[in-house]
């Protein structure tokens, strides 16, 4: 949808940014408690020879079973939330005027109440599928991931702002700039 591109644009402009996908990767590194819980819940076969999580193998399991997905989310989501909440608390203590937290499952995890404004990045279904195919995902994998989320229309309706991420990067940048200049001027973030 354009979340990572938005995060990169904002970071380049000096805004503090937390990407919860980065946190999600960090908390399952070898030696981390979340990885140990995943091994307990899903088996040692989820770990490769270097002791790293076999993400694709785990994804096959959890995106084929709503119960297994909930089990994984119960392991990961509280840890992810704890980290971004701690970081945003630091921003507040430091007097940051604004910041961005990129949360792919914001509404699904009921995290929206922690924010003054919600920006949804969105694109057409065709563009979304094209971008995911470029990552090497099969149509089945794409369908499974999309089915595990709120429909984009519902996310758009629940957000304060929408950044349409099709077209030139300069358009993407201008949309974010307009939103953040308005938010910062009104003191909302």
- Within this chain, do residues 11 and 42 fall inside the same structural domain, yes or no? no
* pLDDT exceeds 50 at position 188: no
Domain count for the chain, please give it.
2
Give phi and psi for 163, each to the nearest 5. Answer: -110, 115
- Within this chain, do residues 107 and 42 fall inside the same structural domain, yes or no? no
- Within this chain, do residues 129 and 36 fall inside the same structural domain, yes or no? no
- Within this chain, do residues 39 and 26 fall inside the same structural domain, yes or no? yes
Domain boundary among 78, 95, 112: 95
- Within this chain, do residues 107 and 187 fall inside the same structural domain, yes or no? yes
Q: Whole-prediction pTM value?
A: 0.85
Predicted pLDDT at 148 = 82
- Within this chain, do residues 149 and 183 fall inside the same structural domain, yes or no? yes
* pLDDT exceeds 60 at position 43: yes
Three-state secondary structure readout of the chain: CCHHHHHHHHHHCCCCEEEHHHHHHHCCCCCCHHHHHHHHHHCHHHECCCCCECHHHHHHHHCCCHHHHHHHHHHHHHHHHHHHHHHHHHHHHCCCCCCEEECCCCCCCCCHHHCCCCEEEECCHHHHHHHHHHCCCCHHHHHHHHHCCCCHHHHHHHCCEEEECCCCHHHHHHHHHHHHHHHHHHCCC
Domain boundary among 65, 95, 125: 95
- Within this chain, do residues 12 and 103 fall inside the same structural domain, yes or no? yes
162 token code pair: 């929408």
10 token code pair: 């904002």
Domain with residue 151: its CATH number is: 3.40.50.300
Domain boundary among 50, 73, 95: 95
How confident is the model over 137-143, as a mean pLDDT? 87
* pLDDT exceeds 70 at position 186: no
Q: Which residue range forms the structural domain that includes residue 10?
A: 1-16+99-189
- pLDDT by residue (tens digit) across 59-84? 999 998 999 999 999 999 999 999 99
- Within this chain, do residues 146 and 119 fall inside the same structural domain, yes or no? yes
- Within this chain, do residues 69 and 149 fall inside the same structural domain, yes or no? no
- Within this chain, do residues 89 and 159 fall inside the same structural domain, yes or no? no
- Within this chain, do residues 103 and 189 fall inside the same structural domain, yes or no? yes
Q: How confident is the model at residue 189 (pLDDT cuts 50, 70, 90)?
A: very low
- Within this chain, do residues 50 and 126 fall inside the same structural domain, yes or no? no
């Amino acid at each position: 949808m354009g979340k990572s591109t938005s995060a990169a644009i904002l970071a380049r402009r000096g805004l503090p940014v937390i990407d919860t996908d980065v946190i999600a990767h960090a908390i399952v590194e070898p030696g981390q408690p979340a990885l140990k819980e995943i091994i307990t819940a899903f088996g040692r076969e989820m770990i490769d020879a270097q002791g790293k999580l076999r993400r694709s193998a785990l994804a096959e399991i959890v995106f084929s079973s709503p119960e297994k997905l909930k089990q994984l989310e119960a392991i990961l989501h509280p840890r992810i939330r704890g980290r971004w909440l701690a970081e945003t608390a630091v921003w507040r203590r430091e007097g940051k005027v604004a910041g961005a937290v990129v949360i792919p499952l914001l509404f699904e995890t009921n995290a929206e109440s922690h924010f003054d404004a919600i920006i949804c990045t969105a694109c057409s279904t065709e563009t979304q599928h094209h971008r995911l195919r470029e990552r090497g995902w099969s149509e089945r994998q794409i369908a499974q991931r999309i089915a595990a989320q709120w429909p984009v229309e519902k996310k758009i309706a629940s957000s304060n702002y929408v950044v349409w991420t099709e077209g030139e990067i300069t358009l993407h940048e201008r949309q974010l700039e307009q939103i953040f200049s308005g938010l910062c001027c009104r003191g909302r973030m």
